[in-house]
Chains A and B, each alone.
Chain A
Amino acid sequence: MAPNDSELEPEILEAVRAVRGGNSQAYATIVTRFQGPILTLCAAILRDRQAAEELAQDVLVRAYLRLDTFDLRQPMKPWLVKIAYRLAQEKWRTHMRELARYKAAATMLQQNRGDGRPAESLLTAERSDLLWQAVYALPMAERTAVVLYYREEMSVKEVAAAMGISPGTVKTHLFRARSQIQVSLRAKGFEEGDIP
């Protein structure tokens, strides 16, 4: 696993200082840098493209309001992910129901397939579709751990801190998720030769 950014990137550091100094427009740098990871996480948790977009905006606005509490010595992504996970949990409990997960995932995939514009396409390849479907079928905590660990390349410790659980529990989530995805992909006809 590639290590995450252990210190704040210079342009992000500069942007944070500028925002704290009163230049709110400098926050655009932070939004541009982290909108992708935050939106991906929100989409993985909510399994709804539109809701994820709204939630990701909420997360970045909340982060802006709390920017004075951010420790400049720490990387920013885990801090944002922590905010995102908490807000997503609230949203999930309020608006989503576990029973509707397959339907929501199917709708989401269908919507994104139907839109030809690359910037708005969630999943373009069939292989990615199948993989995302397998991820969506996981329980919320497991798919969150999978996205943060594999997609966002965060360490087990960072994932644990963001989710408010122990590293051991994260490992358990990842183990179960891998096993479940393995079964799902096998059922969907993934073969050994599909390795990139």
Chain B
Amino acid sequence: MNCAELAATLENRLLHERDSHWLLEARRHAKQCPSCARLLELHQVEEQLTGLCAVEPYGTFLENVMSRITQPEPHLLQSAQRFSPEALKKPMIVLGGLILAAAYVVPSAGESWLASLWPSAGLFRAAHLSAYLAAHPPWAVILAAVAALLVVFGLALPEGQGVKNAARKSMIQ
């Protein structure tokens, strides 16, 4: 056996798949050839590493995992809660409703930044949006629009089922 034969054979197959005669010849050659000795030893290391034994889990491992996934832990629920749009339903409706209610109630009390928000009966009849916009400050119009959108989107969101159920739903989908 020479260096080229040894190297070529090592590249193709693992050591334990070779016959004992080949191994004997390889070791004999390696004793006379330091570079092939290193190569052979390196392959022995690789051979050993492929045989690393696995770590076997305790008997309760499966039971513990299944118990944890059927009863989600609080810190795992937090992420599910964070991404649940259903949780925003009530806050959106309440906030939008409060703004709109304030815009309706405050004018009757007299002077207020909201006093001019609602269109007068005359403007309704005329139905001139440009006249309405000209008569009211832009920020008030924008505020009213945002409030209305909050209510509309809030109503459009699906009904919330609680944090725990939302988390479970997100887990299994």
- The answer for the CA separation of A53 and B64 in the assembled complex, in Å, is 10
- The answer for the CA separation of A169 and B56 in the assembled complex, in Å, is 30
Cβ-based interface call for A156 (8 A):
no
Which listed residue (B42, B49, B53, B65) contacts A61, Cβ 8 A? B65
Which residues in B have their C-beta under 8 angstroms from that of A52?
55
Which residues in B have their C-beta under 8 angstroms from that of A164?
none
Q: Mark A1-27, 1 if CB is under 8 A from B, else 0.
A: 000000000000000000111101101
Shortest Cβ distance from residue B131 to the other chain A in the assembled complex, whole angstroms: 52
Which listed residue (A25, A64, A131) contacts B48, Cβ 8 A? A131
Which residues in A have their C-beta under 8 angstroms from that of B170?
68
- The answer for the CA separation of A147 and B49 in the assembled complex, in Å, is 8
Residue of B47, B65, B70 contacting most chain A CB atoms (<10 Å): B65
The interface size of chain B toward A, counting residues with CB under 8 Å, comes to 40
Binds B, one of A31-39, A73-81, A83-91, A99-107: A31-39
Which residues in B have their C-beta under 8 angstroms from that of A37?
54
Q: DSSP majority for the A interface?
A: helix
Which listed residue (B51, B69, B80) contacts A27, Cβ 8 A? B69
Which residues in B have their C-beta under 8 angstroms from that of A127?
48
CB atoms of B68 and A57 under 8 A apart: yes
Cβ-based interface call for A98 (8 A):
no
Chain A residues within CB distance 8 Å of chain B: 19-22, 24-25, 27-28, 31-32, 35-37, 39-40, 43, 49, 52-53, 56-57, 60-61, 64-65, 67-68, 118-125, 127-128, 131-132, 135, 146-147, 150-151, 153, 178, 181-182, 185-186, 190, 192, 194-196
